[in-house]
Structure 1
Amino acid sequence: MLLLLAALLLPVLHAAAQSEAPEMADVLRQNGKIYVVVAVITVVLAGLLAFLISLDRKVSRLEQELKDQ
């Protein structure tokens, strides 16, 4: 169990220990494409949120129908 925990934590610690800034983000920011990335992430998260709200309404409706029977 401890070996599994160490195997999962070592890559995270190694990545956190690197002092260099991410070059890809700098390049995207210079080219103005960072806004495209942010827009895509926003659209995906908004879609997920809309799906979860829709799913919650459907489940609530089904729960209410079961309660009324």
Structure 2
Amino acid sequence: MKKIFFSLMLLITTLQLFAQDNNVEMADSLRNNGKIYVVVICIVIILLGLLAYLFAIDKRLKKIEKESHNGK
């Protein structure tokens, strides 16, 4: 029952997001000036950095788990 309720709440939330107005002045001005590409590149760089950090942490964790498993 909790899963169904949670799924319905997520569905309602996503439907509400589609109802927003698509005319955002700041985004339009950035797009017209060509600066939207700078914003997109910054977001991509940040996401790539986060992914690289997560993979590095995962690699270190696997190494630590392997060492602790071999030690027992």
TM-score normalized by structure 2? 0.70
Structure 2 counterpart of 1:62, one-letter code = I
Q: Superposed, which structure 2 residues align to 1:52-63 within 5 Å? A: 52-63=54-65
TM-score normalized by structure 1? 0.73
Q: Superposed, which structure 2 residues align to 1:1-69 within 5 Å? A: 13=16, 17-19=19-21, 21-69=23-71
1:17 is displaced (CA, Å) by 4.4
What are the ranges of 5 or more consecutive residues in structure 2 without an aligned counterpart?
Answer: 1-12
Report sequence identity in percent: 46
- List structure 1 segments (4+ residues) > 4 angstroms apart after TM superposition: 15-18
Please report the RMSD computed on the Cα atoms of aligned residues, expressed in angstroms. 1.8
Question: Number of aligned pairs?
Answer: 59
